[in-house]
């Protein structure tokens, strides 16, 4: 049967057509090729459970799960649970997944509101290798307090807000600020540093590897993460930089944002400010300056919380128990 053809030669060159065909072939491979490839791998290795990471990947695994007739677990981490760009189209995932893992009660509530059955949702913290991170006491007495920020320069990270808050103390207290990170809002970050008049107190390290970050934490006293919700509802999950910093013995100043309060216990392991509230953030930083001796105790309790709730060995055992339950 002869099918009518669209007269592409009148609009596009042959090279353009070949490029479009390549894109179509790549798209077809991503849709069908990945499925065939993954199915073969799963069958060859006798896989008996699928674990998808991020909701937008989880919904792509429904067909594979149904073909293999095995349980599916899907973990959510942050934007995939909140951002408007991702939250549409999860109905099939919520229906077919056997377990949904979230980082805390805030994220759990968000997925319930999106239509996920509460019975399917498990709060499961991410873990770090606590044994590889030594705890070191921070004793701040008659010396400058050294703050640390480590994040990409994105709206939801609130780096500019943290700089604004710190800048208000430049004439009253001795402090310095180290910033690890970079990103699209670097210009705004630099502008806030200059506006606050703290150029001499800030050191920008740029993007750095994990070991560099860990080594720098031992030279600093207080970790700041002023996370906030963006206009398109992008949010954090539980930023692991906070967990790492707490494991080394740092006190934390952060915000009541998403599941950050699942890590930082206000008044116990650090101080929690109201989200996107400059005065509230200043108030928390003021507590640090007024009571620098408390940094040591905050750091100790932070380490204890990480050992108990964010220890990778313990969290792995919990995950294995869930796998076994679903398989059986």
The residues near 35 (Cβ < 8 Å, ≥ 6 apart) are 63, 64, 67
The residues near 79 (Cβ < 8 Å, ≥ 6 apart) are 85, 86, 234, 235
Alpha helices in 101-145 (DSSP H): 105-114
Q: pLDDT-based confidence at 9, cuts 50/70/90?
A: very low
Worst-scoring range by mean pLDDT, 103-117, 131-145, 293-307, 314-328? 131-145
Radius of gyration of the chain (CA): 24
Q: What is the pTM of this model?
A: 0.87
CA 284 to chain centre: 23
Q: Read off φ and ψ for residue 115, nearest 5 degrees.
A: 115, 5
pLDDT tens by residue, 77-117: 999 999 888 888 899 999 999 999 999 999 999 999 999 99
Asked if residue 60 lies in contact with residue 85, where contact means CB atoms within 8 angstroms, the answer is no
The residues near 48 (Cβ < 8 Å, ≥ 6 apart) are 70, 71, 327
Using the structure block, give the residue that is written with the tokens 């300056």. Answer: 289
CA 107 to chain centre: 12
Q: What is the pLDDT of residue 222?
A: 98
From edge to edge, which strands make up the β-sheet containing 222-225?
202-206, 175-180, 145-150, 222-225, 251-255, 270-273
Q: Read off φ and ψ for residue 55, nearest 5 degrees.
A: -60, -40
298 to 104, 217, 303, 325: CA distances (angstroms): 22, 15, 9, 37
The pair of three-digit structure tokens given for residue 270, joined into one six-digit string: 């650090």
Using the structure block, give the residue that is written with the tokens 């910033």. Answer: 179
What mean pLDDT do residues 57-80 have? Answer: 95
Distance CA 208, CA 130 (A): 21
Q: Residue 4 above 90 pLDDT?
A: no
The residues near 89 (Cβ < 8 Å, ≥ 6 apart) are 59
Do the bridges between strand 99-102 and strand 145-150 make them parallel or antiparallel, or are there none, so unpaired?
Answer: unpaired
Distance CA 184, CA 69 (A): 44
Q: pLDDT-based confidence at 7, cuts 50/70/90?
A: very low
The residues near 168 (Cβ < 8 Å, ≥ 6 apart) are 196, 282
Using the structure block, give the residue that is written with the tokens 């065939």. Answer: 36
Go through the domains of the chain in sequence order and give each one's CATH number.
21-127+312-327 (3.40.50.2000), 130-309 (3.40.50.2000)
Do the bridges between strand 270-273 and strand 251-255 make them parallel or antiparallel, or are there none, so unpaired?
Answer: parallel
């Amino acid at each position: 049967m002869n099918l009518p053809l669209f007269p592409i030669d009148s609009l596009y060159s042959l090279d353009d057509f070949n490029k479009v065909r390549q894109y179509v072939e790549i798209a077809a491979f991503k849709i069908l090729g990945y499925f065939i490839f993954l199915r073969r791998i799963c069958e060859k290795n006798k896989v008996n459970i699928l674990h998808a990471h991020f909701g937008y990947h989880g919904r792509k695994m429904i067909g594979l799960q149904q073909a293999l007739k095995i349980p599916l677990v899907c973990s959510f981490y942050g934007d995939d649970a909140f951002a408007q760009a991702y939250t549409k189209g999860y109905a099939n995932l919520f229906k077919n997944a056997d377990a949904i893992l979230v980082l805390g009660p805030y994220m759990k509530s968000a997925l319930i509101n999106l239509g996920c059955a509460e019975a399917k949702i498990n709060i499961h913290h991410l873990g770090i290798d606590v044994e590889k991170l030594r705890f070191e006491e921070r004793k701040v007495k008659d010396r400058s307090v050294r703050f640390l920020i480590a994040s990409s320069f994105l709206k939801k990270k609130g780096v500019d807000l943290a700089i604004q808050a710190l800048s208000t103390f430049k004439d009253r207290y001795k402090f310095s600020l180290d910033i690890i990170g970079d990103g699209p809002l670097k210009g705004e970050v630099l502008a806030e540093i200059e506006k606050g008049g703290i150029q001499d107190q800030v050191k920008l390290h740029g993007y750095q590897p994990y070991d560099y970050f860990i080594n720098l934490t031992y030279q600093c006293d207080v970790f700041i993460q002023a996370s906030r919700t963006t206009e398109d509802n992008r949010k954090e999950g539980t930023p692991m930089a906070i967990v790492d910093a707490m494991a080394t013995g740092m006190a934390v100043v952060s915000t009541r944002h998403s599941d950050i309060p699942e890590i930082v216990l206000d008044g116990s392991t650090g101080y929690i400010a109201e989200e996107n509230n400059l005065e509230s953030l200043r108030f928390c930083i003021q507590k640090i300056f007024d009571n620098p001796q408390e940094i040591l105790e905050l750091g100790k309790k932070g380490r204890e919380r990480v050992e108990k709730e964010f220890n990778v060995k313990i969290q792995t055992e919990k995950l294995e128990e869930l796998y076994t339950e679903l398989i059986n």
